[in-house]
Amino acid sequence: MKYTEFKDYFQNYPVINSNDSVKGCNFQTAYNQLNNWTKKGLISQLKKGLYVLNKNDRKINVSNVFIANQLYSPSYVSLEYALSLYALIPETVMNITSVSTKKTAKFQNEFGLFSYQSIKISAFRGFIQVSDNNGMKYFLAEPEKAITDFIYFNLSKFDKNDKDIFETSYRFQNLHILNIKKLLLFTKLFNNKKLIIVINNLIKVIKGNINDRSY
């Protein structure tokens, strides 16, 4: 297959799976073509077996959050990146952080660095499907799940009796947007005693902030 034929066929695909590209072709020939086109910059490899056309040739723009779901599935965007999206922390986070039922993993490509934390299946909940700026669908943690995931994966850094750590060390902000019932629901999914204590401390901070805002 010539590149022009390949481009015309896949222009309206957000990502290209190598299994789709080799249909009707000799596997080794198709592999060599993909490798050659990658070296020439005609296509970009996101990971082994997954590609996108170069910026000039692709008709569908893809975002890093959409790519995050495509790289590793099942997964949803969570942790620091989601906290930044919801303005629950003041920092802008560039690397895409996600949670998956698969083993911990990292990928680096032209769209950035993508990291995935492994979570048990029973806690793989609390995310919704949303659209990026290009109208492409991806899975994103609800704010309560993003903060619960974050605390769970950083639990060793939290003291059971420290209520100041949320707003000092981690500079959590806009905590009033969190739904306390959802926080408790998502916390129970992990079946972790220390996590329950830490989240209850966070809830006390939230309630204190809400009371302060009422004056």
Q: 98 falls in which pLDDT band (50, 70, 90)?
A: very high
- The CATH fold of domain 3-53: Arc Repressor Mutant, subunit A (1.10.10)
* Percent share of the chain, pLDDT over 70: 94
**147 or 211, which is more confident?**
147
Domain boundaries of the chain, sorted by first residue: 3-53, 64-213
Structure-block tokens of residue 194: 């220390």
Strands in 43-47's sheet, in edge-to-edge order, are 16-17, 50-53, 43-47
Q: What tens digit of pLDDT does each residue of 34-79 get?
A: 999 999 999 999 999 999 999 999 999 899 999 999 999 999 999 9
Report whether 62 contacts 136 (CB < 8 A). yes
Spatial distance between the Cα atoms of 154 and 92, rounded to a whole number of angstroms: 19
pLDDT of 27 reads 67
Structure-block tokens of residue 36: 């050659």
